Amino acid sequence: MRESFFKRPFDIIFSTLGLLFSSWLWALISVAIIIEDGFPVLIRQRRIGKHGKMFASFKFRSMRKHTLNEKINSQATERDPRTTFVGRCLRTCAFDELPQLLNIFFGEMSFVGPRPLLPFESEVYSNGGCLDIRMIPGYEKRITIRPGLTGLAQIYAERNIPRRHKFKFDLLYIREINLLLDLKLILISFLVSLHCNWENHTTKLETLSRYRAIRVPRL
């Protein structure tokens, strides 16, 4: 699937503006993280990019230090007990992902697309079993485009649902990909951040229901 011709220029222009206008927030967030839980402020993780190429993704650290040494990479859950107080505040507004503007600027990510996955990430089940995410249907298709900061799955899927269900949202985006859809998803994401509703799926849906004029493709 070919990405829109305007997608990359759009990413460059708006990631540059985002970095310039959010610089004061970087300083404020860094101080808050250090006061509560010390260094490091940023975490650098290897992520799977377009066509499976690895890149270094940056985020403000929202989880406690001991999680940096976890051997099994599992997706974070709603109200994850591993998060710090500052981390929970950051995650509700998605401010922990501000450093990924650098990844967008350098072309490793886009504003809209499937979330970048961790290498060797596992789907962890309630019975204690694990499944390599590369074995989940839809994995190969979703890495044909740049991963994104936001997207259909990030907005509409519950955080705790299995990856195979989230991948359905990603595949729908790939099928419908166009600049207008990207603009709609960015606008919706901004509204969710404005209301600080990223961590609570119920209140996030309530926020979305207030803006019914914003339409996106259905599953």
* Residue 2 pLDDT grade (very low, low, confident, very high; cuts 50, 70, 90): low
| Predicted confidence (pLDDT) per residue in 109-154, tens digit | 999 999 999 888 877 776 667 888 888 889 999 999 999 999 999 9
* pLDDT of 87 above 90: yes
- Specify the pLDDT at position 215: 60
Q: Which residue type, as a one-letter code, is found at position 120?
A: F
| Residues forming beta bridges with residue 48, ordered by sequence position | 54, 117
Map out the domains of the chain as residue ranges.
7-209
* Cβ atoms 146, 3 nearer than 8 A: yes
Alpha-carbon distance 183 to 191, whole Å?
12
Using DSSP's 3-state secondary structure scheme, residue 74 falls into coil
* pLDDT of 72 above 50: no
In sequence order, what DSSP letters do the residues of 167-199 get, joined into one string? HHHHHHHHHH--HHHHHHHHHHHHHHHHTT-SS
Using DSSP's 3-state secondary structure scheme, residue 150 falls into strand
Q: Looking at 4-8, 34-38, 48-52, 60-64, which range is the least confident one?
A: 4-8
> Which stretches within the chain are classed as H helix?
7-21, 23-37, 85-93, 100-105, 139-142, 152-156, 163-176, 179-194, 201-209
Using DSSP's 3-state secondary structure scheme, residue 43 falls into strand
